[in-house]
Amino acid sequence: MTKPLIVVNFKTYASASGEAAQLLLEAMEAQSEGPATFVAVASAFDLAPLSQASTHVEVWSQHLDPVGLGGFTGWLEPTTALARGAVGSIINHAEHKVSLEHVEQLLSMLPEGFPVCACAADVHEARALAALNPTYIAVEPPELIGGDISVTTADPSIVSDTVAAVKAVNPKVRVLCGAGVKNGRDVAKALELGAEGVLLASGVTKAKDVDSVLADLVALL
């Protein structure tokens, strides 16, 4: 049986960038033999050093653009990200929204088997993204991102409804949930609601004791 997925978005937090990102990755590596699969979603600037240091934790990009090598100043070109060690990516995060066309074009450019997690704000957007056949869809109500209340507590129906909607469109797509996820109870509840993992950020990246938080996230699995 596939392990639940715990995807940690490093964003551009000072506590998850540069040397701090390396320390965070080391803490995640220490939990990688446990009951969950950990993924580090890194800044483009940290892709190479983190991917070189990682042995068990997958390192993903925080965003990619459907462009090739050429005159595309400021865009994140996929083949360069792959060459720097990215083995997956998230797309359409609430803090970096893109169009469905962007997602569709990007998916068509990526190699087979390269995992992409498309983020959705609600069931409607998740349903539309499912038709594009990403590997994962993470439902994250934007008003709960970075907050103290998990989506699994504030709005559990959006998780179960998203799972049902996505599976109805495309049974192959795996559903994650995020926004406010902080502890093992949140992870366990997400799985109970039908999700196959979680996407979180500040609950880990801003933690005073990262090792304890990571251990707690998997404590009830």
| Active site positions, annotated | 93, 140
Task: Quote the CA–CA distance of 129 and 114 in Å, as a whole number.
Answer: 17
Vertex 115 angle, CA 68 and 78, to 5°? 15
Task: Quote the CA–CA distance of 28 and 206 in Å, as a whole number.
Answer: 14
Task: Quote the CA–CA distance of 55 and 100 in Å, as a whole number.
Answer: 33
Pairing of strands 37-42, 5-9: parallel
Task: Give the number of C-alpha atoms closer than 13 A to the C-alpha of residue 8, restricted to the C-beta side.
Answer: 33
